[in-house]
A and B are shown apart, each in its own frame.
Chain A
């Protein structure tokens, strides 16, 4: 068993290394590298910070500084589906706030959190660029316009 865990960790370390290699020693590439890392794993694995720091010759604290400054980065594994409730101005005014309250209540989580069964991660975004269909919700890559709490309930059922 412990051997298996070790093997898993080794595999992962190799994966992390593979993401880092093209960026090694390049000035100003920290953010693009972290973006690639997140693309690969869905989040930035904490164990990747050390190797990144070495490769780019920066302090780990600088990396944490970047990770916590930019909203895009996430340090924990995410749910299978991402719900993005638009809180842009148009959506907010057209009922987006109540919609977000409703989803939070229904899933029992707050924004930036993941349900315990890892089914959903909930996020808010500022304008998805289709204000004419406000309020808008995006689940993974699908858009749902003119949402109401009742419609939301139906939509969530589509994602297991």
Chain B
């Protein structure tokens, strides 16, 4: 890229941007600028995703008007933006990002995600412009021990799930005996509802690499491996580019920044196994074996990759390192709570208005997060039932606990876990028994099969849940789930098994009445379980809008303007489309 132009067009081209058509929008800008001879004047910058799903986000930055953000942009809108805004200096008001966008970003503290959606991840110069690789410079002027001390005093805890003190882990690795040491970046991101690691790798790959180099310097390693999920091709491509650029600029390779320190990084692509996110399984996988966990200790810090001392940290953990070194531990430690410092990124999804990645200071409550940055529920009239935190290892927390502050200990106290930060918002239409069944079907499929509690126990629990959601449940099933869940929790070999029952145990704890309704009344209170569905229109709630009539693919709804709808049960296929289409909870 040439010297930074003061006229820039930023287009969010991460995975979700691409899914929404960002490449086509970028191409449209390219040809429109070319047609008008403006290519010289404006830089088109392809950034990573900024975290909010507003289809394609486009920023136009000019010295005269500053930054103007447009949302939901499609190729056909481009000509107008170029004509009005770029040529005549009149922003296209109707396409500007609105209140939701503002609320989403106003309520965040972005440290790790600060550069995502702001810089061009494919150019190291752009990363340098915002302070990139200054932390590395600074670290090189310190002793390794001082670097570890800095991270320790900052109070950073691992963002991969368990929340272990990062400084302490680094110290263990530093003190472990071995000539060869390794640094591994865990980018396997297995939680099926979390994607912050991918977004960070796509939007700011250099930050993660810089964090790894600093870690390598601190513990005395010469080699680093990024273990990345195979489903993340764009992340792999940008990482590969970033590694090449860092090597070229002397930030990676031999004699880094002329300080006599050698360190290099390679990428290994995972092959699709959730359990490989577990650190010992991940190491087995890098060594070319089946990714099965082993009993700890010995911990990887003492005996890791190829039997050598190995540091494993999560992507987001590494992403925190450059800002901490650049701005000092005092700055970082002032954010968050006494025992959980800094921020956490959450993947906010489900029935929430602003789905996306949010980064908030620890200590904020779930309610503040959901109704602040999250903008509240996606359907205003339908209430929040609960939130699921931490994916398959986590749990469901009811509405009544939304004032729980976000920190490792408080979240664990509810029976859920912080996990990697998946946060799914569920409204009254979600069946909690079915959610528990969903997570178990995931862990049953992903169990590595080594230990019996996990291999057989989870399967039996899943069968019991299938029975209940199919309307064949008995009270014994519920008692069995409780007992088996607790047994697996205390007897499984690795973290996968030990936590897999959490979704069941927490829903039993907070949503027991839903289980009872399935078993005793053969009814699914949320009308989500197909076998227990029989839809009807509640006439008193029906606003006669006809949306269900238009949505029904089976022509099973009778409706005329000004009349309440009626469902023909003969024709109804129980597909639930009408239920989803109704904004007034008038179909049950």
Contacts and interface: CB of A to CB of B under 8 A. Distances in A.
A149 B553 contact: yes
Nearest to A90: B349
Contacts of B273: 69-71
Contacts of B198: 129
Nearest to A33: B288
Interface in A107-156: 125-134, 136, 143, 145, 148-150
A102 B575 CA distance: 9
A70 B347 contact: no
Nearest to A89: B193
A28 B286 contact: yes
Contact of B438 (A29, A65, A89, A130): A89
Nearest to A95: B580
Nearest to A70: B271
Interface in B165-181: none
B576 interface: yes
Q: Which 4 A-B pairs have CB atoms at the shortest separation, nearest pair first?
A: A132-B53, A126-B192, A89-B193, A143-B19
Nearest to B426: A93
A27 interface: yes
A73 interface: yes
B326 to A, nearest CB: 28
B585 interface: no
Interface of A: 27-32, 34-35, 65-66, 69-73, 87-90, 92-95, 97-98, 102, 125-134, 136, 143, 145, 148-150
Contacts of B349: 89-90, 131-132, 134
A131 to B, nearest CB: 4
Interface of B: 15-16, 18-20, 52-53, 190-195, 198-199, 230-231, 268-274, 285-291, 347, 349-351, 355-356, 388, 391, 422, 424, 426, 430, 435, 438-439, 442, 448, 530, 553, 575-577, 580
Given A90-B355, A131-B355, 16 more contacts: A65-B290, A66-B288, A88-B192, A90-B193, A90-B350, A94-B351, A98-B575, A128-B19, A131-B347, A131-B349, A132-B53, A132-B356, A133-B19, A134-B350, A145-B19, A148-B577
B472 to A, nearest CB: 19
Contacts of A89: 192-193, 349-350, 388, 391, 422, 424, 438-439
A71 B231 CA distance: 11
A131 B438 contact: no
Contact of B15 (A29, A65, A126, A129): A129
B199 A70 contact: no
Nearest to B435: A93
A31 B288 CA distance: 6
Nearest to A138: B19
Nearest to B574: A98
Given A90-B193, A133-B20, A134-B349, A126 B442 contact: yes
A134 B425 CA distance: 13
A30 to B, nearest CB: 4
Contact of A95 (B274, B287, B391, B576): B576
Contacts of B270: 72
B354 to A, nearest CB: 8
Contacts of B16: 129-130, 132-133
Given A93-B435, A94-B350, A130 B20 contact: yes
Nearest to B442: A126
A150 B193 contact: no
A65 B149 CA distance: 44
22 contacts: A27-B288, A29-B288, A31-B268, A69-B273, A72-B270, A73-B271, A89-B349, A89-B422, A89-B438, A89-B439, A90-B350, A93-B426, A95-B580, A98-B575, A129-B16, A129-B195, A129-B199, A131-B53, A131-B347, A132-B52, A132-B356, A134-B350
